[in-house]
Chains A and B, each alone.
Chain A
C-alpha cells in the first residue's frame, strides 16, 4: 500500500476571483477516486474517538471502510442509520471541533486528520443522485406533531416515521428547512441539496405543513388534543441588535434580514424575483460567527467594493468555522479586530455613512474561557460604511412561547428540558435544538432530534401500555 499522505487529499474549489461574482457552491466535492484515496488514510481505530465526538455518533470508520471498498451504497446505509441529513452535515458541521478534532491520525505528528466531513459529503451526494426506494412502513403507532422544520425537526420526524409514527411538521415560513433555507447561503449549502434531503425525509412518510405558525394559526391546546406527543424545535431565530444610536438608519440590517432576503427570497435575482435587496459599496459586518461570515461573503457577491468584518475580540477567539474564515480571506473580506461600534452616523436623508467605533483590549477569560473584551477609553475612530449588517447573535423566538406560558423557560427565554433529555415540564411535550441550547450547530440540533425520537417513542409506548391496563 502506498504511504499515507500527511495532508488531506486536496479538494477542488471555485477560484476566489470567479466565485465572488456568483452564489454557486465554493467547494466541489471529492470524486470517487479522491474519496477512496482519502479513505485510505483512515487508521480504522477500534475504539474510534471520532465516533465519540460526533453528536449523532456515526460509525465513521465503518462508512470510510465501505468507501475504500468502493461500496458507496453500503457507506450510505451506515451513515443513514445515524444521520438523516448527511449531505448537509458533511458541508456545514464544524468538523475541526468535532470528529476531525480527535482523529488519531491528526493527533500524530505531521499528519492532518482524515477529511471525515468531505467523505460524508461524497457518500451523501452520491445517494441523492440515486433513485429513492420507497419502503412504505405502516404509520400506526401514534401521531406526533413537530413544530418548526429545521434540522432538529427533520431528524426527529424522519426517525419517528421509521419507528412507525405519523409525524406532521408545522412550519411558519413558506419553505421548510429553517436555517438551512433562510440562513446558510447557497455558496456553502446549495438549496437544491436541502430540497433533496427534505424530499428524502418526506418519502419516509413525514408530512410538512408550511404557512402554519403554531401559537397563531393553531394553538398548542389544539396540538396537544390531536397528537400523542409533540416536539418543539422552533430555533433561536429572533435577531439581537447592538442597540447603538442610529440603529434605525437606512442601511442598517440584522444578518437575519439580510440573509433571508438573499437565501429564502433570492433577492440577488431582483427584479426577476419580487423581493429587493440593496447593493452597497462599503459594507460593515458586526460579529465574528458563521452568520457574520455568511453575511460578509454574501455582501461581496452582491458586488460590494469593500466588506469589513468588525469583531470585538481577536482572530484567535473568532467563533466562525476555520474553513469559512479562510474562504472569506481569499475572497478579500477585511477584518478590524478588537473593534466595536458605538454609533452609526447618517446623512440628512437617514442613509448610513459612517460608523463610530472604539478599540477594545482583552481582559480576563469569561465563563466560556474566551478573553473578555473591554473598551479602551478615548480610542474612538470612524469607519466609512453605507451598509451595516449586525450579526451579533439570535435569541428565542417568542411566537409559540408567549401563547404557551405553562411551558418552563430559562431566564434567557429558552425552553428548559430535564437533564440530558428532551422532556419539558409538560408530559408529552419535548423540545430540542437551538430553542433549548441557544444558537448552536446543525449537528447538535440533529443530535437532540435523535434523542427526542427515542424519548417520544418510549413515552407513547409507556402511555399506551398504561392505557391498555385500565
Chain B
C-alpha cells in the first residue's frame, strides 16, 4: 500500500499527488514513470514521475481526468492509499550537456516535461521552454518550469495567457532565431507528431515521450509496442523516449484508440455508480 501524503486540484480536470514510495523516490530519474493500481479491481495505469523528495520518500504525480481510473484517482484524499505502485520504470532521459536545448510541453504533458527541463538545466544546458495549453488554467507548473528555463514561452489556444497559437508556431520562431542542438516534445500524440515535423524541417533532432497503452510496464506483454525505425520496440522498457523522426506516428496514434469504446463504457458505468451511491 502506498499512502497519498498530499493532494491538490490544479485545474478543472488536473490533479497532483505526493505519494509515499521511498524506494521509487530514491531511484527515479527524469523521463521515468510508475505503474499504479488504485484498488483490487483496478487497472494498471502509467503516470510520469514529475519530481521526487528523497528525504520524505515521496514522489510527485500529476494526472488529468480522462476516464474511469483517473476520475477515481481524483476522488482520493490525503491519507488514502493506492493498492499498488511499481517503479521507476522506463529508460531515463539522456541528460547531458547538449549546449542549447528547446523543450516543448503540451497540456498535462507539461508535468512529464518538467523533470527533463530541470535535469537538462542542472546539466548546464541553455534551456528554452515552450508550454502550450488550451487555456491559461491548464498551463500547469509554470513557476517550476520558469525556474529552470533561460527563456519561457507560453502559448494558449484562446490567447488567455502568453501568445495565442500552437506550440509549433513558437518552435518555428525559436528555430528561426537561434541555433538549437536538441529538442524534446511531450504532450498529446498529435502535438508530438507535429513538433517532430517542425523540428525535422529545421534539421534539429527531437526526442518525444510516447504514452501508449500499457499493462505490466516491465516488457512482459508487448501491449505498448511501437514501431521505431521499422523495428518493434516496447515503450515500457525501450522507451518511453524515442527519436521523433523514427516513430511510426500513424500506427502509434491508431493503436492509442484501441479501447475507446470500452473506455467510454467504463467511464459511464463509474459515473452512474458515483451518482447512485454518492
Q: When the two chains form their complex, are residues B43 and A274 in contact, meaning their CB atoms are under 8 A apart?
A: yes
Tell me whether A261 and B215 are in contact in the complex, defined as CB-CB below 8 angstroms, given that A238-B220, A274-B68 are known contacts.
yes
Which segment, of A65-73, A246-254, A417-425, faces chain B? Answer: A246-254
**A241 CB–B CB distance under 8 Å:** yes
A217, B23: Cα distance in complex, Å: 6
Q: When the two chains form their complex, are residues B43 and A350 in contact, meaning their CB atoms are under 8 A apart?
A: no
**A341 CB–B CB distance under 8 Å:** no
Q: When the two chains form their complex, are residues B266 and A274 in contact, meaning their CB atoms are under 8 A apart?
A: yes
**A210 CB–B CB distance under 8 Å:** yes
**B276 CB–A CB distance under 8 Å:** no
**B176 CB–A CB distance under 8 Å:** no
Q: When the two chains form their complex, are residues A211 and B85 in contact, meaning their CB atoms are under 8 A apart?
A: yes
**A270 CB–B CB distance under 8 Å:** yes
Closest Cβ of chain B to A280, distance in Å, is 12
Closest Cβ of chain A to B213, distance in Å, is 10
Tell me whether A397 and B219 are in contact in the complex, defined as CB-CB below 8 angstroms, given that A216-B27, A217-B27, A271-B265 are known contacts.
yes
**Contact residues in B for A271 (Cβ distance below 8 Å):** 262, 265-266, 269
Q: When the two chains form their complex, are residues B84 and A174 in contact, meaning their CB atoms are under 8 A apart?
A: yes
Closest Cβ of chain B to A449, distance in Å, is 21
Q: When the two chains form their complex, are residues B41 and A257 in contact, meaning their CB atoms are under 8 A apart?
A: no
**Contact residues in A for B220 (Cβ distance below 8 Å):** 182, 237-239, 256, 260, 397
Q: When the two chains form their complex, are residues B266 and A257 in contact, meaning their CB atoms are under 8 A apart?
A: no
**B37 CB–A CB distance under 8 Å:** yes
Q: When the two chains form their complex, are residues A276 and B251 in contact, meaning their CB atoms are under 8 A apart?
A: no
| In the complex, chain B residues 190-234 whose Cβ is within 8 Å of any chain A Cβ | 215-216, 218-223, 225, 227, 232
Tell me whether A172 and B86 are in contact in the complex, defined as CB-CB below 8 angstroms, given that A260-B221, A272-B41 are known contacts.
yes
B88 contact from A216, A238, A260, A349, Cβ within 8 A:
A216
Closest Cβ of chain A to B222, distance in Å, is 4
Q: When the two chains form their complex, are residues B219 and A257 in contact, meaning their CB atoms are under 8 A apart?
A: no
**A173 CB–B CB distance under 8 Å:** yes
Q: How large is the interface on B (under 10, 10 to 19, 20 to 34, 35 or more residues)?
A: 35 or more
**A265 CB–B CB distance under 8 Å:** yes
Q: 1/0 contact trace for B241-266 toward A, CB 8 Å?
A: 00000001001001101110011011
**Contact residues in A for B265 (Cβ distance below 8 Å):** 271, 276
**Contact residues in A for B223 (Cβ distance below 8 Å):** 253-254, 257
Q: When the two chains form their complex, are residues A276 and B262 in contact, meaning their CB atoms are under 8 A apart?
A: yes
**A14 CB–B CB distance under 8 Å:** no
A397, B237: Cα distance in complex, Å: 10
Closest to A250 in B: B258
Q: When the two chains form their complex, are residues A275 and B86 in contact, meaning their CB atoms are under 8 A apart?
A: no
**B44 CB–A CB distance under 8 Å:** yes
Closest to A248 in B: B251
Q: 1/0 contact trace for A144-182 toward B, CB 8 Å?
A: 000000000000000000000000000011100000001
Q: How large is the interface on A (under 10, 10 to 19, 20 to 34, 35 or more residues)?
A: 35 or more
**Contact residues in B for A261 (Cβ distance below 8 Å):** 215
Tell me whether A172 and B218 are in contact in the complex, defined as CB-CB below 8 angstroms, given that A213-B89, A216-B27, A276-B263 are known contacts.
yes
Q: When the two chains form their complex, are residues A350 and B254 in contact, meaning their CB atoms are under 8 A apart?
A: yes
Q: When the two chains form their complex, are residues A213 and B86 in contact, meaning their CB atoms are under 8 A apart?
A: yes
Tell me whether A274 and B222 are in contact in the complex, defined as CB-CB below 8 angstroms, given that A174-B37, A216-B87, A247-B232 are known contacts.
no
A8, B190: Cα distance in complex, Å: 62
| In the complex, chain B residues 35-83 whose Cβ is within 8 Å of any chain A Cβ | 37, 41-44, 68-69, 83
**A4 CB–B CB distance under 8 Å:** no
**A191 CB–B CB distance under 8 Å:** no
Q: When the two chains form their complex, are residues B255 and A250 in contact, meaning their CB atoms are under 8 A apart?
A: yes
**B139 CB–A CB distance under 8 Å:** no
**Contact residues in B for A275 (Cβ distance below 8 Å):** 43-44, 215
**Contact residues in B for A407 (Cβ distance below 8 Å):** none
B255 contact from A211, A248, A399, Cβ within 8 A:
A248
Closest to A400 in B: B218
Tell me whether A265 and B215 are in contact in the complex, defined as CB-CB below 8 angstroms, given that A174-B84, A174-B86, A217-B88 are known contacts.
yes
Closest Cβ of chain A to B219, distance in Å, is 5
Closest to B218 in A: A172
Closest Cβ of chain B to A424, distance in Å, is 21
Q: Which 4 residue pairs of A and B lie closest in terms of their CB atoms, listed nearest first?
A: A276-B262, A257-B221, A274-B43, A174-B84
B residues near A (Cβ < 8 Å) are 23-24, 27, 37, 41-44, 68-69, 83-89, 215-216, 218-223, 225, 227, 232, 237, 248, 251, 254-255, 257-259, 262-263, 265-266, 269
Can you list 8 pairs linking A and B with CB atoms under 8 Å apart? A213-B86, A217-B27, A253-B223, A265-B215, A272-B41, A276-B262, A278-B259, A350-B251
- Since A172-B218, A275-B215 are in contact, a sample of 7 more A-B pairs with Cβ atoms closer than 8 Å, ordered by chain A residue number, is A241-B222, A254-B222, A254-B223, A257-B221, A270-B262, A271-B265, A276-B265
